[in-house]
Amino acid sequence: MFAAASLKTALDEVASEFEQETGQGITVSYAASSVLARQIQLGAPADLFISANVDWMNVLQDQGLIDPTTRIDLLSNGLVLVAGGEGVDIGEMRPGVALASALNGGYLAMALVDAVPAGVYGKAALESLGLWQGIQGQIAQTDNVRSALALVATGAAPMGIVYRSDAQVEGRVRVIAEFSPDLHPPIIYPVALTAVGAESARVFLNHLQSQAARAVFEKQGFTLPNG
C-alpha 75/C-alpha 81 separation (Å) is 20
Instruction: Compute the average pLDDT of residues 189-195.
Output: 97
Compute the radius of gyration of the chain from its Cα atoms: 18
Q: How far does CA 224 lie from the centroid of its chain?
A: 14
- Quote the pLDDT of residue 12: 97
Domain of 70, in residue numbers: 2-76+187-219
pLDDT of residue 145: 95
Is the same domain home to 194 and 101? no
Say yes or no: 105 and 151 in one domain. yes
Report residue 96: phi and psi, to 5°: 90, -5
Q: Could you read off the pLDDT of 10-22 as tens digits, one per residue?
A: 999 999 999 999 9
What average pLDDT does this structure show over 80-94?
Answer: 82
Tell me which H or E stretch contains 152.
helix 145-153
Predicted confidence at residue 170, as pLDDT, reads 92
What are the helix (H) ranges across 80-139?
99-102, 117-128, 132-135
Does the residue 6 lie in any domain? yes
Distance separating alpha carbons of residues 57 and 62, to the nearest angstrom: 9
Structurally, how many domains does the chain consist of? 2
pLDDT value, residue 86: 66
Q: DSSP 3-state assignment of 104?
A: coil
This prediction has a pTM of 0.90
Give the pLDDT confidence of 48-72 residue by residue, as tens digits: 999 999 999 999 999 999 999 999 9
Binding residue numbers: 6, 33, 118, 145, 163
Per-residue pLDDT for 227 more than 90? Answer: no
Segments of 14-151 assigned E as strands: 29-31, 48-50, 72-76, 79-83, 91-92, 108-111, 139-142
Is residue 150 a part of any domain in this protein?
yes
Residue 173 — pLDDT band, cuts 50, 70, 90? very high
Q: Is residue 203 part of a domain?
A: yes
Mean pLDDT of 26-52: 96
Instruction: Determine the pLDDT at residue 222.
Output: 96
Q: What is the average pLDDT value for the chain, to the nearest integer?
A: 94
CATH number, domain of 173, equals: 3.40.190.10
What percent of the chain has a predicted confidence (pLDDT) above 70? Answer: 98
Please report, in range form, the residues annotated as the binding site for molybdate.
Answer: 6, 33, 118, 145, 163
Q: What is the pLDDT of residue 85?
A: 74
Strands (E), 108-207: 108-111, 139-142, 159-163, 174-178, 188-193
226 found inside a domain: no
- Write down the pLDDT at residue 92: 78
My answer on whether 88 and 171 are in the same domain is yes
| Spatial distance between the Cα atoms of 121 and 184, rounded to a whole number of angstroms | 6
Residue 102 and residue 168 share a domain: yes
Are 71 and 84 in the same domain?
Answer: no
